[in-house]
Every structure is written in C-alpha cells, then in structure tokens.
Copies of this chain bind each other. A is one copy, B any other.
Amino acid sequence: MISARVDRLRDTVPLVQCLTNTVVTQFTANVLLSAGASPAMVDTPEEAADFARVASGVLVNLGTPTAAGYTAMREAVRGAGEAGTPWVLDPVACGGAAARTSFAGDIVRHRPAAVRGNPSEIRALAGLVTGETGPSVGGRGVDSTDEVESASVAAAAVSAATGAVVAVSGPRDLIVSTRPDGTTRTTRLTSGDPLMQRVVGTGCSLGALTAAYLGAELSGATGSTGFTGSAGPDLHTAVVAAHAHAGAAGTAAAREASAPGSFAVAWLDRLYSLSAADIAGSVSLDE
C-alpha cells in the first residue's frame, strides 16, 4: 500500500504550498522537488488564501513566526478549508514561547488533515485541545527530550479532538488517527538514521512531504483516477507513506555518507532515486 502511494505522488506531482520558517525554506523546496512534488512558498497575507484554494496541499509550520506570518497562516487555512485542500500543522516549539503555543492551540481547531511534531510538541498540543496538562516536559527548542512513545496518549487525544492524523516523529515514528467509530488506529514505523538529527530541516520538510502525500491521496478522489477498487482515500496511510519515503531515504543515505554535509546531499538524492518498491521494502511497520 505504501508502494502505490509513492507511485501516485510521482504521477500526480502535487503542488504544495509551504508557510514555513526561514531556516528551512530552501531545503524544504528541494525535498519536495526530489521526492516528486512541486513546491510553492506562497506565504504572504495577500496571496495565501487564494493559493491554498488551488494547491494540492498546504504546510503550516510555526517556526520563526512573524505577525504577518501568522496572518498568512490564518488566511491559508481559511482558503484550504473553503476548497477542501488538506493542510498539515507542524507545531514547532509548541509548549515553549507563549505566543506560538497560543496560536497553535487556536489554529489546530481548524481541521488540519494531519499534525506532525516531536513528542514534546504533541504533548503540549494535547494539553491545549483537552485542557489537561500532562507530566511536565523538558523541551529545549525543537530538540525533543521525550521519547516518542510517551506521546502516544497525547497523539490520540489530539486526533480525537481535531480529526487529524497525528504523527510523532522520532527513531520510531508513531502515526495515530481516529476511526469513524472513535477507536484509535496506530502505526509505528522504524526507519531513518540518527544523522537526520544533524541536518536542519529533515523534520520540517517531512511536514511538507506529508502535505504532498495527502494532496496526492485526495487528487482525483472523487473521479475516475482514484484508486481502482479501493474504498477511497486513506489519509492515515498517506501519512505513513510520507514517513516511509523520508525514512527509507535516510537509511539509504547513511549507507553512503557518515557525516552531516554529505548525508544531506545523499538524502536528497535518495528521495529522488529510490523506487516505490525500495521505499516500501526498507521500512519496518508495526500496526
């Protein structure tokens, strides 16, 4: 099922609008281009809503926010909501600075298709949507000091409250969604390499890749180009496929590079060159 999604991404070349932080804009665009999507960094208040109506998917990443950036994010989410464009929230440093935590707690109520973050961010977000605070979290910037599993209850709470697929990134990714009957669906995915933590933007660009996979999943969902014989789009699996693609490329890159500079180059190369079968065969799934 992952394999089909990778092929679909490359066939449909989804247009992904990124409202993201200034540190990772270039790398995020290159990740999307390498993986098979098309980036558009349209992030001004004037243009964000209109573009979100025509984009395949939208990423809203809260790193390095400005006042104008917040306005643009609200506009993009509004446009996405009106047009049914799937959007992804990456709540960078949620639980840290008050202003962005407050913004995250508000914007997450506008029905993101997915949320992707590290454990401390997802736990902080869970506190915002449920009104409960979990055990105190030792966050320092964007480097999570929690383990992924410690955020599983929080991830399920965020999913239940928002309807989003929630991905907690780490050595073993946790992807959680809520079924129509209210039960929780969970997938654990082991892939990647520790060197990914030494390259800025591997996490942020995974948020963009998630938006790309969601866009590909929903493109033609109502028409004849949808999955033949399928029960329709499956956003949970699309999010898993995004993480598999990024993780498999990380595993492959680590075979040819042992330091961060060349690893980043190799990661982009493998996002591009790994076949759908390579990707599906490289990751370890537990669901």
Residues of A bordering B, CB below 8 Å = 15, 21-27, 29-30, 33-34, 38-44, 46-47, 50-51, 54, 63-66, 68, 97, 99-100, 140-143, 197-201, 258-262, 264-270, 272-273
Contact = CB atoms under 8 A, between A and B. Distances in A.
Number of copies: 3
18 contacts: A15-B141, A22-B22, A23-B39, A24-B26, A26-B200, A30-B260, A42-B64, A44-B64, A66-B68, A259-B272, A260-B269, A261-B268, A261-B269, A261-B272, A262-B266, A262-B269, A264-B268, A265-B265
Nearest to A50: B97
Nearest to A55: B141
A30 B263 CA distance: 12
Contacts of A258: 273
A97 B54 CA distance: 12
A15 to B, nearest CB: 6
Given A38-B141, A42-B97, 18 more contacts: A22-B25, A23-B39, A24-B26, A29-B200, A30-B261, A30-B264, A33-B200, A41-B63, A41-B64, A47-B100, A50-B97, A66-B68, A198-B272, A258-B273, A259-B272, A262-B266, A262-B269, A265-B265
A72 B26 CA distance: 22
A33 to B, nearest CB: 5
B47 A97 contact: yes
